[in-house]
Structures are given as C-alpha cells and as structure tokens.
C-alpha cells in the first residue's frame, strides 16, 4: 500500500479527501479498538469503511468525496467500547477536515437495578388545553457528571422518574432513541439507554383530565419551569414562583412558574383568585439561569413544538440513531420478531428524516 501511495501521480494525491482522527478513552489515547466510517446523505446512512486504531489512538479514512453542507452530505466516525457505541462529530464541510477529528469514549459505570440518581439540570413542563382535558409536554434534561458512561445491569435501568398520577396517552422518546431505550411503566418514565458524560434529553408527552395536579419532583432538581397556556383557570403552584406571562407567538400566551434547587417531593397546581407577582430576587435568578441553562437554544421564547424540534428532532440526531440501530442489530443474533421490530423502527426513523429534509 505504501508503494502505491508513493508512486501515485501528484494530481491523484491532491484529489484524495482524508479524515484523520484520534480516539480518546477519557483523557488518554485509546490503543485498542476499531473505528467505523459512516456516511449520511439525503435521509439514508451507511457504513463505508472500518480500521483498527493505532497505538496512539490514531485512525485514518479516505472519503469518497468532500462533504457538502448544501446537500446535507456528511461523514462521521464511531467506536464501540464496552458494548456502548460512541459517535464523533459530524463533518459537514471540507474545512472541518483540516483539524484532527476526535472520538471520545468512556469506561462504564453499572447502575443499581433501580437506576442511577443522574442530575436533572433542567425540567420544562408545558401544559396546554385540549378537547379532552390538558395536553402536557414534559422535558427532562439530564447531566451525567460521573466521567463514566452509566449503563444498566441485566434486567435493570439507568434512570427513572415518577410521573403524575392519572396521566394517560403517554408517549416517550420522540423517536430519537431505540424503541426499548425509554418507556413508561407503573407510573414512571424509565430509561435503559446508556448515559455518557454530559447532557441527555428525554421527552414525555401525556394527557390529564384536570389542570390541578401534583408533579413529582426529584430532590436536587436544579431548575423547574411550568408553563400553562391560556386560556386557563387562575392558578398558583405550591413550591414555585410566578415569573411572568410569555407570548411565544401572536395569540399564544403562557403563564410561567419557576423554581431552582428544588427539595421535592412534589409541586402542586392549585386554584387561586389572583396570580402572585414575581419576587424581586427571582428576576435576577431567572436571568442568570436563562443565560447558562438554555444552551444552544437562542434566547427568545419558544413554543413547546419549537423547543422539541430544536433539541430533539434534529435530522442529524435521527440519522445517528439509524446508525446506532444498524450497529446494534448487526452485532447480535436476532430472532424473526427482533428483525421485524428493527425494520419497523428503522423505517419509522427514515420516514421522519425524509419529512424533515
């Protein structure tokens, strides 16, 4: 191979598109493993190549062509370690190939059977009137501070959270994770998905008959926002402060209640005669939290559907999930029912991706 490269005409070498990367296990170069090259374009994904890591964690791929941001023609690499699949960032333009590509993997931490007490850095609950009661979108933004990937033991879970009593028509996951990675069971949202260091978002949609309900809250929840769309009865929320009315779009106004560093175990929505004014100290708290917690979302009010679209249903996230689904299916012997489940879930993801294109 070296001789072939040495005697290639200069114009051929100049045309080669190379991805050079390094794999890190924590802060140390990973010396053992296999890197896989993926290609995403126009709603489809596939594996192009694979290579063993060098002693210093280095890997190298020749790309068939330059990435094209206009066509959403992108490349990325993945590495599996201790049964968990890790993805590097997406390469969307030729300029991004000028720097060294990096894939970070981590050792694993096995959670207790009932899950791990992962920090909840933000929870946003949007409540909207519905023809049959109230429709709720409940977003949990978790943060793994352990420096290791939290994984479930056989028959166990990685994280769980109690949900309000009496909810119905529950939907979890929004399609961005495998069908069995998160579920609703016995009054709890339960995750089996591996949780690498950093953030992870879970979305739960459900309906309730009455606005006056109690929301279970995990002690230590760093921030909780409850936004109730008008028209709605005048309410207060025990454990939270009324902050303001927010208009997300013309004719769409929400009453916003918020709290930080909650002690739990519940906050309760109750009927009241007047909406309490925000405490002065809460104005400063809210401003600071808005700047640091919102992250990649631009600092203007967003509707629930906009927020979910921005944070969950990105086309790239779904395409990464297709890659993860393919890897998991190819890596194990599967029964006919598992194959059909895989094909059905993959088709649903691809359909969603194409609708977003």
The Cα–Cα gap between 333 and 293 comes to 42
Task: Say how many residues make up the chain.
Answer: 357
Residues 51, 129 within the same domain = no
Residues 216 and 342 in one domain: no
* pLDDT tens-place string over residues 194-238: 999 999 999 999 999 999 999 999 999 999 999 999 999 999 999
Q: Is the peptide bond before 202 cis (omega within 30 degrees of 0)?
A: no
- Asked if the structure places residue 175 within a domain, the reply is yes
In this structure, the answer to whether residues 270 and 326 fall within a common structural domain is: no
pLDDT at position 154 is 92
Please write the tens of the pLDDT for every residue from 127-162.
999 998 999 999 999 999 999 999 999 999 999 999
261-320 pLDDT tens trace: 999 899 999 999 765 544 444 444 444 444 334 333 333 445 555 555 544 445 556 666
Range of weakest confidence among 87-101, 221-235, 342-356: 342-356
346 phi-psi bin (left φ>0, alpha ψ -120 to 50, beta other): alpha
* Domain presence at residue 114: no
Q: Are residues 71 and 209 in the same domain?
A: no
**Residue 179 Ramachandran class (φ > 0 left, ψ -120 to 50 alpha, else beta):** alpha
The count of domains in the chain is: 3
Instruction: Indicate whether 246 belongs to any domain.
Output: yes
From the DSSP assignment, how many helices (H) and strands (E) are in the chain?
Answer: 6, 23
Share of the chain above pLDDT 90, in %: 58
Asked if the structure places residue 35 within a domain, the reply is: yes
Element holding 64 (H helix, E strand)? none
Q: Read off φ and ψ for residue 149, nearest 5 degrees.
A: -80, 125
Domain containing residue 63: 2-107
Helices (H), ranges, the chain: 2-6, 10-15, 280-293, 304-311, 315-330, 336-356
* pLDDT at 11 exceeding the cut of 70: no
**DSSP secondary structure code for residue 4 in this structure:** H
Beta carbons within 8 Å of 332's beta carbon, 6+ residues apart: none
Whether residues 268 and 162 share a domain: the answer is yes
Domain boundary among 87, 107, 127: 107
pLDDT higher at 40 or 270:
270
CATH code, domain with 166: 2.60.40
Closest by CA position to 191, among listed 206, 172, 207, 205:
172
């Amino acid at each position: 191979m070296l001789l072939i490269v040495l005697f290639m005409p200069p114009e051929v070498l100049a045309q080669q598109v190379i991805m050079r990367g390094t794999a890190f296990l924590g802060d140390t170069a990973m010396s053992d493993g296999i890197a896989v090259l993926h290609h995403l374009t126009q709603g489809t994904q596939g594996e192009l190549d694979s290579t063993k890591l060098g002693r210093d964690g280095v890997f190298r791929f020749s790309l068939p062509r330059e990435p094209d941001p206009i066509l959403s023609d992108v490349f990325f690499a993945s590495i599996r370690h201790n049964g968990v699949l890790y993805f590097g960032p997406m390469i969307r333009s030729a300029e991004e190939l000028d720097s060294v590509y990096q894939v970070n993997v981590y050792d694993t931490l096995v959670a207790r059977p009932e899950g791990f007490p992962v920090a909840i850095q933000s929870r946003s609950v949007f409540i909207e009137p519905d023809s049959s009661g109230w429709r709720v979108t409940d977003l949990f933004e978790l943060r793994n501070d352990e420096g290791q990937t939290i994984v479930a033991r056989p028959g166990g879970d990685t994280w769980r959270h109690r949900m309000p009593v009496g909810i119905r028509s529950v939907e979890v996951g929004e399609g961005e994770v495998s069908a069995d990675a998160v579920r609703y069971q016995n009054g709890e949202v339960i995750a089996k998905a591996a949780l690498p260091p950093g953030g992870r978002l879970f979305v739960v949609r459900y309906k309730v008959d009455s606005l006056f309900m109690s929301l279970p809250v995990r002690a230590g929840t760093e921030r909780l926002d409850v936004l109730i769309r008008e028209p709605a009865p005048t309410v207060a929320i025990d454990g939270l402060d009324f902050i303001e009315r927010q208009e997300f779009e013309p004719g769409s106004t929400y009453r916003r209640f918020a709290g930080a560093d909650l002690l739990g175990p519940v906050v309760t929505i109750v009927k009241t005669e007047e909406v309490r004014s925000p405490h002065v100290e809460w104005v400063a708290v809210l401003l600071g939290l808005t700047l640091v917690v919102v992250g990649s979302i631009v600092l203007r009010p967003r509707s629930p559907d906009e927020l979910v679209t921005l944070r969950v249903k990105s086309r790239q996230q779904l395409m990464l999930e297709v890659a993860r689904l393919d890897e998991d299916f190819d890596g194990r012997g599967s029964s006919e029912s598992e194959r059909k489940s895989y094909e059905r879930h993959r088709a649903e993801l691809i359909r969603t991706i194409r609708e977003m294109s």
